[in-house]
Structure 1
Amino acid sequence: MIHTLKLIRLLLTTMIMRIAFRVFYIFPIQKNRVMFQAFREKQYSCNPKYISQKLREMYGDEVEIGWSFKNPEKYRYLEKEGIKVLKSRTLALYKFALTAKVICTNTYYKTTLPRRRGQYFIRTWHGGGAYKRVGSMEKLPFLKRISLNLQAQGAHLYLSSSKAFTFMTIRESFGYKGEVMECGMPRNDILLNGDHEAISKRVKKALGMQENERLALYAPTYRYDLSLDHYDIDYEGAIHALETRFGGKWRFAFRTHNFVEMKAGDRIGEDVIDATDYPDMQELLIAADALFTDYSSSIWDMSLMYKPAFLYANDLKAYESGRDFYMDIHLWPFPLSENNEELIKNILNFDEDKYHKDVKAHHDVLGSCESGHASEMVAKRIHEVMTKG
């Protein structure tokens, strides 16, 4: 009964707010206007960032770009690049959103904002490969699934990193039947075509590292309860193993998922760098010489560069019985550890040749669509939508 009442309240609130926001329909849609948001308006990052940059590069002032943020003051510097910085839940934001020709987001879109006829919605999502379950295939309460389905409505275009992602995530989990552009993730273009040496130097300087130091990045995903109990990697033991196996001096950096970033300091030691506030995960991956994660799709991104990537999953059985995976984690090509002893052993026994072959086979099995030109392809589509109306 309680769940039924909550569902009714959710649906009524959504309906009432969508009707109320139609007052902005008195303003015509601006064909050259594009609105972006990333990670529920918390960041300037991921696929939307790289599409936005490519639009500016290719079409300049021909395109009016706006970004919505919960903390806009942090991103005022974007105004110097000709980008409108809009504060979430303001009249200015609502007007811009409801008069934009194209809206591009990497997560779910606001349930309360109507999908106006004549607008074009792009959902890039924020993960490649096909790993942990999302959308309707997550083991979520009924009400939560309804809420996510409402937020997922109205997309005209999805982007995909692989054939497996298209089928299992976009078609099955999201129930989407429309157009999918299998071009790869725009954020991964820089991994395939970027100036890695210059980026690595910039990242290490920002993190307070020496250029000759090697970087091990620990970037686990979140848990539903936002607990940090499972982030107990043995940094000292892993560093010793890395230096023994690969040589050189190593440093660890810890980056939490954006859902739990406020708690990052709770799980880093004195010699571990807190990289949570570094604005671009892809640049961190470029600078990193090895990645440690659990179930994060960042491991797909890292694999595109064939750098060592290790799975540290000390709550694997609980995670499988809760959220679970599209593909058995034991079939992934990355060395899997369920405790620190196994992790150290996997580092010491790392075989580059086998790893490279396994990763290549993994890309083939999933049907990788990573092109290195996804940002350009999406920018061209946006321009086409704007000009053809």
Structure 2
Amino acid sequence: MKIFKSIALFGYKVVFKIAGAVLPKKKNRIIFESFLGKQYSDNPRALYEYMLKEYGDKYELIWSVDKRYIQLFEDKQVPYFKRFSLKWLIAMNTAGMWISNSRLPLWISKPKKTTYLQTWHGTPLKRLALDMDEVHMPGTDTERYKKNFTTESSKWDYLVSPNHYSTEIFKRAFNFNKTVLETGYPRNDYLVNYNDEDYIHKLKVDLGIQRNKKVILYAPTWRDNEFYARGRYKFDIQLDLDRMRDQLGEDYIILLRMHYLIAENINVEKYEGFVIDFSSYEDIRDLYLVSDILMTDYSSVFFDYAILNRPMLFFTYDLESYRDTLRGFYFDFEKDAPGPLLYNTDEVIEAIQNIDQDQFYDLRQNFRKRFCKLENGQASKNVIEKTLK
């Protein structure tokens, strides 16, 4: 059975490559994909929704979807093809443009007349691709990882950058020498345009969030060396949630948002009313808006959240290991983080209890000037106008 599957997969890859060479292109067909087809979210969603509104009758807009996540797209009546199906193969090889926020499988060859718009998915704190000294991910080694990454990035025609800082890093770390669109991030248009008290109230009602509680959004990243298998990473919550509930539960609730690569199904049933797992929720953007505080670690989420100018906390219990062994940082995180670095549950509780003092206000303003100045609510418009020629 395994042999037959391998033969079928090889045949599919061959057909994909041939299809790209022989099938006629439909310039007005655009394929969108977010986080390996697992989400309707992020920069591709922002670009899709902008195009649907402004050019909906002129373009055929289709999503590439992992078969395990089809229901979400059906519920929202978003047109899609199942990833790696025959329809998907034809659509990918006849599309005028691909729009994705993460790498596609290495074997996918881009047809000559297809434009590949890579939006990526965050301003980098941790080192990326060619800038990494060592790679600790499963199923690869440092040399192979870097070679595969640059093989993929060579297919990109455009790369979206949220700020000049990212532009310089992306060009070097991705070995990218084509067109960088330094526009701000399309996904952040939503944070600029919908940061409104009435809209946020409606979101809280829709999400079932109590109005009388302040909201902490906890959104940690993944660790390269903690995994079950390639693309399936472990994560253990290092917080004492029992103590946090005892100390904070009267005034706060926690929204939990795991990274898309984390395979865990975090069981928080015993903390009902205090911790709500939103890891499978379609898009983190709504969670940003309804939260009063962001708690993260080394995830790029804090660059986006800074747009809202709300307090941020950094639970960095493994800072030395992450900084010195796993990834390394592009700037002095301990000096320039726009919020306190916290190492245990006691420090987290104390920081939340004293959040109104906002001792990091000035540092946060400097951070926003450096990383968020392009975020004016027009990034989607600017990206589309620069790529639809």
- What TM-score does the superposition give when structure 2 sets the normalisation length? 0.85
* Conserved? CA contact 2:213–2:251, under 8 Å: yes
Note if 1:309 corresponds to 2:312.
yes
SS of equivalent residue, structure 2 residue 209 = coil
* Conserved? CA contact 1:219–1:292, under 8 Å: yes
CA distance in 2, matches of 1:36, 1:375: 14
CA distance in 2, matches of 1:258, 1:266: 18
- CA apart distance, 1:23: 3.0
Percent of aligned positions with the same letter in both sequences? 27
Deviations 1:321-361 (A, max 9, x none): 21121112112222111222222333344465653321121
SS of equivalent residue, structure 1 residue 95 = helix
- CA apart distance, 1:268: 7.5
Within the candidate set 230, 234, 237, 1:227 is matched to 234
Note if 1:127 corresponds to 2:122.
yes
SS of equivalent residue, structure 1 residue 358 = helix
Show the counterpart of 2:150: 149
Show the counterpart of 2:230: none
* Conserved? CA contact 2:268–2:275, under 8 Å: no
* Conserved? CA contact 2:32–2:98, under 8 Å: yes
Note if 1:104 corresponds to 2:79.
no
- Once the two structures are superposed, the pairs formed by residues 64-75 of structure 1 within 5 Å of their partners are 64-71=60-67, 72-75=70-73
Question: Aligned pair in 2 of structure 1 residues 179, 264: CA closer, same or farther (>3 Å)?
Answer: same
- CA apart distance, 1:267: 9.5
Note if 1:114 corresponds to 2:104.
no
Per mean C-alpha deviation after superposition, the further-off stretch among 24-33 and 284-293 is 24-33
CA distance in 1, matches of 2:192, 2:79: 29
Note if 1:323 corresponds to 2:324.
no
SS of equivalent residue, structure 2 residue 57 = helix
SS of equivalent residue, structure 1 residue 304 = helix
CA distance in 1, matches of 2:245, 2:288: 18
Question: For residue 266 of structure 2, what is the amino acid of its counterpart?
Answer: A
Show the counterpart of 1:137: 131
* Conserved? CA contact 1:241–1:347, under 8 Å: no
SS of equivalent residue, structure 2 residue 102 = coil
CA distance in 2, matches of 1:266, 1:90: 36
CA distance in 1, matches of 2:270, 2:48: 33
Show the counterpart of 2:4: none
SS of equivalent residue, structure 1 residue 264 = coil
- Once the two structures are superposed, the pairs formed by residues 149-298 of structure 1 within 5 Å of their partners are 149-168=150-169, 170-224=170-224, 225=226, 226-229=233-236, 231-235=237-241, 237-238=243-244, 249-265=251-267, 269-270=271-272, 271-298=274-301
* Conserved? CA contact 1:218–1:255, under 8 Å: yes
CA distance in 1, matches of 2:358, 2:164: 26
Structure 1, unaligned runs of 5 or more:
1-12
Show the counterpart of 1:42: 38
Question: Aligned pair in 2 of structure 1 residues 311, 46: CA closer, same or farther (>3 Å)?
Answer: same
Show the counterpart of 1:8: none
* Conserved? CA contact 1:290–1:307, under 8 Å: yes
* Conserved? CA contact 1:18–1:113, under 8 Å: no
Structure in which a larger fraction of residues adopt helix? 1
- CA apart distance, 1:251: 0.8
Question: Aligned pair in 2 of structure 1 residues 314, 31: CA closer, same or farther (>3 Å)?
Answer: same
CA distance in 2, matches of 1:367, 1:279: 24
Structure 2, unaligned runs of 5 or more:
1-8, 136-140, 227-232
* Conserved? CA contact 1:127–1:297, under 8 Å: yes
Deviations 1:33-92 (A, max 9, x none): 11110001111100000100000100121011010111323312444xxx5310011111
- CA apart distance, 1:116: 1.3
* Conserved? CA contact 2:234–2:263, under 8 Å: no
- What TM-score does the superposition give when structure 1 sets the normalisation length? 0.85
- CA apart distance, 1:122: 0.8
Note if 1:25 corresponds to 2:21.
yes
Give the number of aligned pairs. 362
Question: For residue 58 of structure 2, what is the amino acid of its counterpart?
Answer: E
Question: Aligned pair in 2 of structure 1 residues 241, 173: CA closer, same or farther (>3 Å)?
Answer: farther
Deviations 1:245-300 (A, max 9, x none): xxx82111111111115422279734311111221101100000111111111111
Question: Aligned pair in 2 of structure 1 residues 323, 195: CA closer, same or farther (>3 Å)?
Answer: closer
Question: Aligned pair in 2 of structure 1 residues 214, 86: CA closer, same or farther (>3 Å)?
Answer: same
Deviations 1:122-175 (A, max 9, x none): 1111113x311222223312222222222222111111111111112x112111
* Conserved? CA contact 2:33–2:100, under 8 Å: yes
CA distance in 1, matches of 2:268, 2:199: 28
RMSD over aligned Cα atoms: 2.6
CA distance in 1, matches of 2:30, 2:279: 28
- CA apart distance, 1:221: 0.6
* Conserved? CA contact 1:292–1:310, under 8 Å: yes
